[in-house]
Amino acid sequence: MMPKNILIVGASKGIGAELVSQFSTIKSMHVIALARDIESGNNWSKKVNVSAHNFDLTSLSMKEELSTILSKYSQIDYVVNNAGLLVNKAFLELTEKDIQTSYDVNVIGVMKSLQIVLPKMFTSGGHIVNISSMGGFQGTVKFSGLSTYSSSKAALVNLTEMLAEEFKDSKVKFNCLCLGAVQTEMLEKAFPGYQAPISATKMAEYIVDFTLKAFNWINGKIIPVSLSTP
Ligand SMILES: NC(=O)c1ccc[n+]([C@@H]2O[C@H](COP(=O)([O-])OP(=O)(O)OC[C@H]3O[C@@H](n4cnc5c(N)ncnc54)[C@H](OP(=O)(O)O)[C@@H]3O)[C@@H](O)[C@H]2O)c1
């Protein structure tokens, strides 16, 4: 039987590294793991069903690079767009680079990647899971300093709904998870000393299960996954 191919963008640390570990325990899956510094202590090359590649969502040639990486796969079954960049800075102090890079990683890079990946999903169908944040979910508690992060994550929420509509006649499903606080490097840098109520391992367990099953019931849905902020 052909393995099911899953692409994980943002797979070097935190929740993304946990996703690679957990998906790779499923023998029938092949994991394509991408990040700027994908090996950073991970030793993915030791796992037979993981292909790890350095990949930067902000690179001007990212579409060509992704095409090359995916050229040996005729079909992609699942995608988790997990990469994220959090800039915590007063709005008036944000530089053009802060804003541009945040949007490049959190939403524009996702759009450009999906332009390459989607054609490889139409024949067999598949599930695209976008990882957003409670900060990008309308009506939640907001945190000062996160304007570029939360607004770009809100754009990812809307993008999910738009793609589900545009591709509703295809066999590809799109859903978005808005995560609450998870104990990772990103959270520790943004809010030093804050203790999240859930680990990256535990959050990844939910995302793995959701990715493999939820598309049977839902499409175009935005789901809060949070033990913390309302
Ligand atoms: N932790 C939380 O409390 C929390 C809450 C809500 C939502 N989230 C979301 O959950 C996702 C995972 O977060 P995390 O906490 O695990 O963060 P993390 O530990 O900082 O990991 C982020 C991942 O994104 C990758 N990445 C960043 N910039 C990239 C770029 N330019 N190109 C390619 N990959 C890039 C990083 O790899 P490299 O640095 O090697 O490129 C890393 O693998 C993010 O989308 C985040 O916004 C997290």
pTM of the model: 0.98
Ligand 1 atom at minimal distance to the Cα of residue 13: 43
Residue entry with tokens 């049977």 = 216
Total of domains in the chain: 1
Q: Tell me how far the alpha carbon of residue 40 lies from the centroid of ligand 1, in angstroms.
A: 14
List the domain range (segments joined by +) for residue 34.
Answer: 4-225
Residue entry with tokens 């950073």 = 40
Q: Which residues line ligand 1 (CB under 6 A)?
A: 10-16, 35-37, 40, 55-58, 82-85, 105, 131, 133, 179, 181-182, 184-187, 196, 200
Q: Which residues pair with 179 in a beta bridge?
A: 133, 225
- For residues 109 and 165, give the distance between their C-alpha atoms in angstroms, rounded to a whole number: 20
Is residue 198 a part of any domain in this protein?
yes
Q: Tell me how far the alpha carbon of residue 212 lies from the centroid of ligand 1, in angstroms.
A: 21
Which tens digits make up the pLDDT trace of 174-210? 999 999 999 999 999 999 999 999 999 999 999 999 9
How many CA atoms within 13 Å lie on the side-chain side of 194?
18
Which pair of tokens denotes residue 125? Answer: 């169908």
- For residues 49 and 142, give the distance between their C-alpha atoms in angstroms, rounded to a whole number: 40
Is residue 101 a part of any domain in this protein?
yes
Which pair of tokens denotes residue 169? Answer: 């006649």
Q: What pLDDT was estimated at residue 77?
A: 98
Write the CA distances from 37 to 52, 88, 120, 211, integer angstroms.
10, 22, 25, 24
- Closest among 146, 42, 159 to 94, alpha carbons compared: 146
- Closest among 1, 186, 179, 195 to 80, alpha carbons compared: 179
Q: Tell me how far the alpha carbon of residue 11 lies from the centroid of ligand 1, in angstroms.
A: 8
- For residues 210 and 206, give the distance between their C-alpha atoms in angstroms, rounded to a whole number: 6
Q: What pLDDT was estimated at residue 108?
A: 98
Ligand 1 atom at minimal distance to the Cα of residue 106: 45
- For residues 197 and 33, give the distance between their C-alpha atoms in angstroms, rounded to a whole number: 27
Site to probe by mutation for ligand 1, drawn from 7, 9, 13, 152 as the one with most ligand atoms within 8 Å of Cβ, is 13
Is residue 230 a part of any domain in this protein?
no
Polymer length of the chain: 230
Is residue 193 a part of any domain in this protein?
yes
Q: Tell me how far the alpha carbon of residue 84 lies from the centroid of ligand 1, in angstroms.
A: 4
Q: What pLDDT was estimated at residue 1?
A: 74
Residue entry with tokens 């802060």 = 98
Q: Which residues pair with 178 in a beta bridge?
A: 132, 224
Q: Tell me how far the alpha carbon of residue 150 lies from the centroid of ligand 1, in angstroms.
A: 14
Which tens digits make up the pLDDT trace of 41-54? 889 988 999 999 99
The amino acid that residue 188 corresponds to is E
The amino acid that residue 11 corresponds to is A
Q: Which residues pair with 132 in a beta bridge?
A: 178
**DSSP three-state, residue 186:** helix
Q: What pLDDT was estimated at residue 230?
A: 63
Q: From the first residue on, what is the mean pLDDT of each consecutive set of 10 residues in the chain (230 residues)? A: 93 97 96 95 91 98 98 98 98 98 98 98 98 96 96 98 98 98 95 95 98 98 89
Which pair of tokens denotes residue 127? Answer: 């599930």
Which pair of tokens denotes residue 147? Answer: 């304007």
Question: At 51, which CATH number?
Answer: 3.40.50.720
Helix orientation angle between 147-166 and 109-117, rounded to the nearest 10 degrees: 30
Is residue 20 a part of any domain in this protein?
yes
